[in-house]
Amino acid sequence: MAKVAIIYYSQTGTTHLLAKAVEDGAKAAGAETRLLKVKETAPDELWGNNPVWKQHIEETSGIAEATNEDLEWADAIIFGSPTRYGLPAAQMKAFIDQTGALWAKGALTDKVGSSFTTTATQHGGQEATILALNTAFYHWGMIIVAPGYVEPSQFQSGNPYGASFTSNNGKLDPDEVAITAGKLQGRRVAEIAARLKGA
C-alpha cells in the first residue's frame, strides 16, 4: 500500500474540490492518504474582506496544515495550486521553501511526485504552473508521474501534465471531466508508487 500526501492551496475552493478528486483516485487504488492544505500567508485584512475567500477558510478549518513530517511520511506527494501569473500561489511556494532540511539529507529522493492546478481563465497558465511545481521534484530527486494520455478520458481533459480546470473566475466548480482527470491522476500516482515501493 502506498502512502500518498495530497498537499494543496485553495483560495475559494476550486483547487480544494479537485484535490478531493485526486484523493478519491488514490484511495480507489488502495493508498493510505493525507489530504492537507498549506498555511494561509495572506494577511487577515486581505482575505477577511473577501466573503468567498473567508467562507472557504472557515469551511476547511478542519483540514490539517501540511508539515515536513508529512513529506517524509509519504511515498508519493501530489501538489495542487491555483495559478498566479502562470506560477504556483505564494502560499504553496512558501511551503516548498521551508523544506531545505529534507532536501539536504535526501529525505525525498526516489519518492513519486505529481501536480495539478486550476485557473480562472482558459490559457491562464495551467501547464506552466504544473511544470513550476514539478521543478521542486527535480531538485528533490523524485520521480515525476503525470497522467499522460493513458485513458480515453484524457483526450477530453486535454492535459497530460496534470489534472486542471478553468473556473471562469471562480464561477464554476470542477466539472465531471476535471473530476475524472483528478481521480485518474491520484490512482495512477498511487499505483506506480506502490509498484516502486514493492520493487
pLDDT at residue 199 above 80? Answer: no
* Rounded percentage of the chain residues whose pLDDT exceeds 70: 100
pTM above 0.85, yes or no: yes
Q: What is the CATH number of domain 3-198?
A: 3.40.50.360
Domain boundaries, the chain: 3-198
How large is the average pLDDT for residues 124-153?
Answer: 97
CA-based radius of gyration for the chain: 16
Q: Tell me: the pLDDT tens digits for 169-192?
A: 888 999 999 999 999 999 999 999
Q: Tell me: the pLDDT tens digits for 66-97?
A: 999 999 999 999 999 999 999 999 999 999 99
Q: How far, in Å, CA of 148 to CA of 159, rounded?
A: 7
Residue 166's DSSP bridge partners are: 119
CA distances from 97 to 52, 89, 94, 109, 166 (A): 28, 12, 5, 17, 27
* CB-CB contact of 186 with 74 (8 Å): no
pLDDT band at 198 (very low <50, low <70, confident <90, very high): confident
- The H-assigned helical ranges of 29-117 are 44-47, 51-59, 68-73, 90-97, 100-104
pLDDT at residue 50 above 90? Answer: no
Residue 5's DSSP bridge partners are: 34, 77
